[in-house]
Amino acid sequence: MDITPPPVTGTTDGATGQTDPQTIGKDMFLKLLVAQLKYQNPMEPVDSSQFMAQTAQFTMVEKLQAMAAQTDALVAGEASQRAAGLLGRQVSYVDVEGATQTGVVTGTRFGSDGPVLLIGATELSLNDVREVALVTP
């Protein structure tokens, strides 16, 4: 069976010329499936069981992508909960100069890289926290 796929289209990174990974996925899979049907030999058509298997694979790719998006949302929600739980707590962290600092978390902000803790004028990534303690009166 001679299968000639359609030309690959999609966004590319100008520096590397690689196809964007988001473009490769269900869209690319669907294009290849349609090309296979379009260019199949009429004397030897695709076996219906193969076609059903490919359709099932396509559905599985869609479901996996949806599950990955839900997992990302759950992880982001959990990180936000952890950041909110640190409000009013004293945290220790290592600053940019390598010195250990402590301060009380007075607020949180949700940035593109996840939750950011506000300690006075200092912004601290949740991942940079080394120790958490109760504030003693």
Query: Residue 103: which CATH number?
Result: 2.30.30
| Structural domain count of the chain | 1
Q: Please, are residues 75 and 114 in contact by the beta-carbon 8 Å criterion?
A: no
Per-residue confidence (pLDDT) for residue 68, from 0 to 100: 94
- DSSP-derived secondary structure letter, 15: T
- DSSP-derived secondary structure letter, 19: B
Per-residue confidence (pLDDT) for residue 19, from 0 to 100: 53
Residue range(s) defining the domain that contains residue 113 = 86-133
Per-residue confidence (pLDDT) for residue 98, from 0 to 100: 87
Q: Is 126 a domain residue?
A: yes
What's the distance, CA 32 to chain centroid?
Answer: 25
Q: Is 112 a domain residue?
A: yes
Cα–Cα distance, 7 to 119 (Å, whole number) = 53
Q: Is 55 a domain residue?
A: no
Q: Is 26 a domain residue?
A: no
Kindly tell me if the per-residue pLDDT of 14 is higher than 50.
no
Q: Is 106 a domain residue?
A: yes
SS3 of the chain: helix, strand, coil, percent, to 5: 40, 25, 35
The model's confidence at residue 18, banded by pLDDT at 50, 70 and 90, is: low
pTM greater than the 0.75 cutoff: no
Q: Is 75 a domain residue?
A: no
Q: Is 103 a domain residue?
A: yes
The model's confidence at residue 104, banded by pLDDT at 50, 70 and 90, is: very high
Q: Please, are residues 57 and 49 in contact by the beta-carbon 8 Å criterion?
A: no
Q: Is 41 a domain residue?
A: no
